[in-house]
Structures are given as structure tokens and as C-alpha cells.
Amino acid sequence: MYVVCLVLAAAPALPNAPNVLEEHRDVQQSITYSRYGHTVRLDALPSARWDDLAQYLADTTPEVLHFAGRGTPDGGPRFVTEDGGEAPVALDGLRRCVTAATVNGLHLLLLNACWTAHLAKEFSDVVPAVIGWQAEVADVHARGYARVFHRNLAAGESVAKAHTTARMMLDLAGCTSPPTLRTSDGRIPEAHFLIGPEARSVPRQEPLSLRYQQCGAHLRKPRFRPPPPQF
């Protein structure tokens, strides 16, 4: 089983905030109805503050860390504040959290928010695979990408193929600034899977019974013998 942590860090009281609850629903359904969805656990941090993420990563190491919310140009992703607003998280602190999680088994970081491509490039030195958006992104495109990407990952596809399929969906939707996939040195995204071979069950084959192992002799039709002549 691999674990996905969905960080829902958006303040719903703000105008034009991404609908992270709908994104949570999309991801949950995509994983549930995928081929190997039963081998995936989805954790969620609703209305996440920076300390929620720090506490979660101190207790659990997910294989996938998915941030859903808003980004900051040349800054960090924005978390909910105590007064109900939002503010970007300190990049040095986020870098330490992500580095510690990667040492313990974090494989994929999905920054599903605007202006996160620079973070994807930076964190790819630590995390095996990171995805971020170069510019501002429409909420419908961010949610659509997340839905297709997680569905294909949970269906057994590689990170690279799941990303490529989700980007093709964005092309059909008219998205002109799709997200980019960054990988650390020595990593081949086409060979990077979240569903391991131990989770890919092979249908059990019943052995042939003895009567069916005798060259099918019992299935042969009797040879036609004409009746003896009558005198």
C-alpha cells in the first residue's frame, strides 16, 4: 500500500480561492475506482496550516504529497492562517520538512497550485519526482489534472505516463500552460511506479485435473465401424 497525503490549504472565505474540497472529492473517487485503488490510502489535511503539515510529516511519511491551494510568484505555497486568511509558508522550513520526508520514503511531490514550477525545479534535487505549474492556472484545469493523474497512478502506470496522459487531457481542455515534471538526477520517470509488483495480483490458475491431462483421449469420438454384412 502507498499513502497519498492531500494538503487542502486554501481559505474558503477568500474570493477566487480554488475549490479544494472538490479537488479532494475528485482525487478520492479517481483512486477508489482505479484498478489498484484498494492498495492506496488517502489522507487529507483540510484547511491546512503550516503546523498541520509539520505535525503530519513528523508522524507519517506518505509516498505522495499533494498540495492543493494557491501559490505565490517566486514564493512558497500559501497555507491557512489563524485569522482565517492565508499566507505563504517559509521556504526554508518547507525545504527541511520535505527533505526529512524524502529520507523516510517520500517519492512524489505534486504542487497543484499557480507559480510552483520554480519550487518543482528546486525540490527535484531532493525528491525523486516533483510536479509544478509555471504560471497561473484555472481551477478546472488543476482539478482535471489531479483527477487524471491520480487515477492513472493508482491504475499502475508510471509517474511519467500518468503525467503525460493528464497533460493530453489538458490539451483537449485548451490549457496552454500545463504543469512540468521534474526528476532528480539518475531517476527515470518512465520506470518510477507507485504500485509495486507485490500489489499487482496475478489471477490464480487452477491446475488441470488428471482426466484432462491424458492427451484429451476421453474427448475423441469413437471411430465409425460399419455393421457386419448380413447373409
pLDDT tens figures, 160-191: 999 999 999 999 999 999 999 999 887 788 88
With a cut of 50, say whether residue 106 has pLDDT above it.
yes
Helix, strand, coil percentages in the chain from 3-state DSSP, rounded to 5: 40, 20, 40
Q: Report the C-alpha gap between 101 and 94 in whole angstroms.
A: 11
Q: 3-class DSSP state for residue 113? A: coil
pLDDT for position 208: 45
62-66 average pLDDT score? 97
The architecture that CATH gives domain 2-199 is 3-Layer(aba) Sandwich (3.40)
Q: Which residues touch 75 (CB under 8 Å, ≥6 apart)?
A: 88, 91, 115
| In the chain, % of residues over pLDDT 90 | 73
With a cut of 60, say whether residue 210 has pLDDT above it.
no
User: Residue 51: in which H helix or E strand, if any?
Assistant: helix 50-59
Q: Report the C-alpha gap between 55 and 52 in whole angstroms.
A: 5
Whether the CB-CB separation of 159 and 2 falls below 8 Å is answered with no
With a cut of 70, say whether residue 129 has pLDDT above it.
yes
pLDDT for position 214: 47
Q: Report the C-alpha gap between 65 and 101 in whole angstroms.
A: 10
Give strand pairing partners of 40: 2
pLDDT for position 212: 41
Give the three cell numbers for residue 139.
Answer: 481551477
Give strand pairing partners of 132: 180
pLDDT for position 18: 87
Nearest Cα to Cα of residue 133 among 72, 182, 180: 180
With a cut of 90, say whether residue 221 has pLDDT above it.
no
pLDDT for position 65: 98
pLDDT for position 174: 96
pTM of the model: 0.85
With a cut of 60, say whether residue 146 has pLDDT above it.
yes
Phi, psi (degrees; rounded to nearest 5) at 54: -60, -40
